[in-house]
Amino acid sequence: MRRRSTSLQDLLLLLLKEGRQRILVLAAIFTVVALGTLVAGLYWPQKYAASAAILVEPKSSIAPGTEGPPLSTLVNQIVLSRKILRELMTYGGWVEPHDPRAKDRLLDQIKSRISIATAGGGGDRIGPSLVRITYVDSDPERTFKIAGKLTEIYVRESIIPEERANRQTFEFIDGQVKEYAKKLADAHAQVVTYYQAHSATPNKPTPKEPPPKPGSISAADLAALRVEEANLQRELNRKRDPVAPDLVQAESHYRERALQLQGELERLLTTYTDEHPDVIRVKRELAQAKANADQARAERVAAETTSAAFEDDVMRAARQRLDDVQKKIAAATGNGRTPAPTLPDPSPATSPQDPEFRLVKQDAAMSELIRGYETDRDVYLDLLKRREQARVSLELAEQRGLRLQIQEPPEMPAAPVSARLTNIVLAGMMIAVLLPLALLFAIIKFDARVRSVEQLQSIGKLPVLVKIAYAPTPVEERNQRLRLMLASAMVAAVFIVYAAVFYIRYTTPS
């Protein structure tokens, strides 16, 4: 312990001695570093930062067709794309350089100033995530402007990718629906026209054609009539499916959403005023949900009406046809009771000119038309269902976009984020003091030349007779005093310059 303290004392004495010998050099280093740091601090570019925090709501699990990479990744890439950067360049007031390379450099520079950080469940698309967009610039006003614009672009670009795909799907299906609606209307018109053209003829008794006598039609025609009767009865007995269940589901979904938002609004109003951003947002969403619900209801009613009208026409026609067929069968059998089917008569008693045969042919054409109509109707209903799914997806995507909530809008930066002059100066002063000391220490530590009797004694071969202490001559003393004064003047000048700079900086209004 004693030896350590002795060596420490020796080290301090050596530092003092070396420092005294190199006082001018050390003072010069101190002065250069201190003043250099001051100049650097004065001209250090000030940077301002403005950031906005956007809360991204979790994705709805019922929204189909939105699989893919996380939304935040996509939007980050979009926001940092050249197109958006050019938009920012124009918005920020930069003069667009003519040189493409200079333009690239400017865009890269703008890009390097933007940082988008996502926290929370945004990466795996589960749970809410907080996206923080930060922009750094030397101009506080431009920083604020660009940060606001970036937030707006982020929200805009977050909505578009999802919405675009859903809208395209919806428009395609909607086109198909319209096409099949037209086809269905045509088929319906054909059926009605055919029915009006042919159905009245057999029922109208004409003098030329006596009422059919029992047994006047062949067994084969009778069998055909019976088959048609069975088909018509099956058709009439078929239970009517509910029209457009998806429309019903969508309507109920919107209703539930409206109720939910109404509850949230009431809850918010107990705490906040009408001007609060959350209240405004919920009101807007509530109005949207109500509008959607009304629209879904109107569409459902329209679909039901259309479908019912078609259905009624078809059913009426089928019922009349059934009556006709039953009348023919009754006439053929004579008592209105359906006789047991008999084997068809192989004799060629009928011919194409036979009115009964013509009636059967007309019935077959009618069935064909009905089948075509039914096929079109099935496709139409299926397309309606798909269109509603697409509409729900589109609405959900839009709804999700609207749920991008700006938690923290950007604010005008009041203070720079870069190091302040005081910090730079303090750091520089510390370096200015420590650097000469470190140099002295390095000289003592790494310069192997003999500086003490102990080093000589460690050689071990020769005795150290005496140590001649250093005592400066009067001339040396005078020179040393001069050097010390000069060094002191340099250090004092540094402090005077510092004091002057800080006085001017903090007393002069900027």
Binding site for another protein (CB under 8 A): 21, 447-451, 453, 455-456, 458-459, 461-474, 476
Adjacent-strand bridge partners of 114: 135
Question: Dihedral through CA 152, CA 155, CA 158, CA 159, nearest 10?
Answer: -110
The amino acid at residue 449 is R
Cα 128 from Cα 121, distance rounded (Å): 5
Q: Which CB atom, from 8 or from 453, has the smaller least distance to another protein?
A: 453
The distance from CA 54 to its chain's CA centroid, rounded to whole angstroms, is: 11
Q: Which CB atom, from 13 or from 287, has the smaller least distance to another protein?
A: 13
The continuous run of DSSP H or E covering 193 comes out as helix 140-198
User: How far apart are CB 447 and another protein at their closest, in Å?
Assistant: 7
Adjacent-strand bridge partners of 86: none
Adjacent-strand bridge partners of 116: 133
DSSP state of 452: S
Cα 88 from Cα 129, distance rounded (Å): 25
User: How far apart are CB 464 and another protein at their closest, in Å?
Assistant: 5
Q: Which CB atom, from 182 or from 478, has the smaller least distance to another protein?
A: 478
User: How far apart are CB 449 and another protein at their closest, in Å?
Assistant: 5
User: How far apart are CB 442 and another protein at their closest, in Å?
Assistant: 14
Residues with Cβ within 8 Å of residue 339, at least 6 apart in sequence:
333
Q: Which CB atom, from 456 or from 486, has the smaller least distance to another protein?
A: 456
User: How far apart are CB 115 and another protein at their closest, in Å?
Assistant: 54
Cα 261 from Cα 264, distance rounded (Å): 5
Cα 441 from Cα 97, distance rounded (Å): 53
Residue 39 CB neighbours (<10 A): 13
CA atoms within 13 A on the CB side of 281: 15
Q: Which CB atom, from 26 or from 244, has the smaller least distance to another protein?
A: 26
User: How far apart are CB 487 and another protein at their closest, in Å?
Assistant: 17
**Main-chain phi, psi angles of 504, to 5 degrees:** -65, -40
**Main-chain phi, psi angles of 118, to 5 degrees:** -110, 130
Q: Which CB atom, from 171 or from 476, has the smaller least distance to another protein?
A: 476
**Main-chain phi, psi angles of 136, to 5 degrees:** -120, 135
The continuous run of DSSP H or E covering 378 comes out as helix 355-402
End-to-end CA distance of the chain: 58
User: How far apart are CB 478 and another protein at their closest, in Å?
Assistant: 14
The amino acid at residue 319 is R
User: How far apart are CB 451 and another protein at their closest, in Å?
Assistant: 5
User: How far apart are CB 28 and another protein at their closest, in Å?
Assistant: 18
Write out 25-41 in H/E/C secondary structure. Answer: HHHHHHHHHHHHHHHHH
Q: Which CB atom, from 142 or from 451, has the smaller least distance to another protein?
A: 451
Q: Tokens 């045969």 correspond to what residue?
A: 357
User: How far apart are CB 15 and another protein at their closest, in Å?
Assistant: 13
User: How far apart are CB 42 and another protein at their closest, in Å?
Assistant: 39
Angle between helical axes of 23-43 and 474-507 (0-180°, round to 10): 10
Residues with Cβ within 8 Å of residue 74, at least 6 apart in sequence:
68, 161
Q: Which CB atom, from 468 or from 504, has the smaller least distance to another protein?
A: 468
User: How far apart are CB 413 and another protein at their closest, in Å?
Assistant: 55
User: How far apart are CB 455 and another protein at their closest, in Å?
Assistant: 6
Q: How large is the C-alpha radius of gyration of the chain?
A: 48
Q: Which CB atom, from 469 or from 504, has the smaller least distance to another protein?
A: 469
Cα 247 from Cα 324, distance rounded (Å): 38
Q: Which CB atom, from 43 or from 470, has the smaller least distance to another protein?
A: 470
Q: Which CB atom, from 167 or from 451, has the smaller least distance to another protein?
A: 451
Q: Which CB atom, from 378 or from 476, has the smaller least distance to another protein?
A: 476
Reading the block at residue 198, the tokens are 């042919």
Q: Nearest-CA neighbor of 170 among 387, 401, 392?
A: 387
Q: Tokens 């999802």 correspond to what residue?
A: 162
Adjacent-strand bridge partners of 55: 130, 405
Q: Which CB atom, from 315 or from 456, has the smaller least distance to another protein?
A: 456
